[in-house]
Amino acid sequence: MSTDGGRPLPRRPQPLGPDAMESVGGTLPGPAEVTEIAHQSAAILVGAGRATYDPEVTGRLVTLVDDLGLSIVADLWSGRPARSLPGTLWRLYALREWVQRSPEQASREYAAGIRFTDVAHAVAGIAEPPRPEELQRVADQILTGVFDGDLAVALERASAFCSVVAAGRAELAHDRDNVDPEGASDLTRTALAMLTTGEDLRACARLWRAGDLH
């Protein structure tokens, strides 16, 4: 991280690939080192963000993927268990990236799931109608809560959001089943994946409250 007027700000890293590592006499980290790096970086990011109390820093952390790119974040955290701090950060950033890139699709799928998930919809806190820009706003708001709020509540909101989208995909799959079986099958598969993500995020909220999310 760099500083701006004494405040820590995230900085884009300069990743080294295998060839570059070898050219400077470096070696690739082993599995244990990769695991340690993933967990330490997640803890440092969350800890620094929650200790800063600076809206500018929080905003930079929320939009981290916009600067680094999703692939770098994936390389760092996506291989860790879903119910771990790096695993849950990866899922939150990936969820935000999907909403930012495909807001109309997110809006359509969320809207289709509302009537089946009243409680989850209320927890997610998305205004009706769930317009694309509203979903983008809430995706940013959820990540903001990770660094500047109750992290467990942020995870529960993200979990609820996933539950509504999963229900919406299942409903849209049902509607398409007769005319586009392959498309319906894809929607059903991704609905299950989204539902699983929601369950993992909810479990991570419990782990955080118990002091066991690492």
Average pLDDT, the chain: 89
**What is the average pLDDT across 122-138?**
96
* pLDDT given for residue 19 in this prediction: 46
Domain ranges of the chain: 2-209
Cα separation, 135 vs 154, in Å, equals: 15
Q: Which two tokens stand for residue 14?
A: 């300069």
The Cα 171–Cα 173 span in angstroms is: 5
Question: H or E element: which one contains 65?
Answer: helix 64-68
Is the pLDDT reported for residue 147 higher than 90? Answer: yes
What is the mean pLDDT of the segment spanning 15-24? 41
Tens of pLDDT along 178-191? Answer: 999 999 999 999 99
Of the listed ranges 9-23, 52-66, 128-142, the one predicted with least confidence: 9-23
Q: Output phi, psi for 7, to 5 deg.
A: -100, 135
Q: Is the Cβ–Cβ distance between 38 and 79 less than 8 Å?
A: yes
pLDDT digits (tens, 9 = 90+) for 35-77: 999 999 999 999 999 998 899 999 999 999 999 999 999 999 9
In this prediction, what percent of the chain has a pLDDT beyond 90? 83
Per-residue pLDDT tens digits for 152-180: 999 999 999 999 999 999 999 999 999 99
User: How confident is the model at residue 52, as a pLDDT?
Assistant: 86
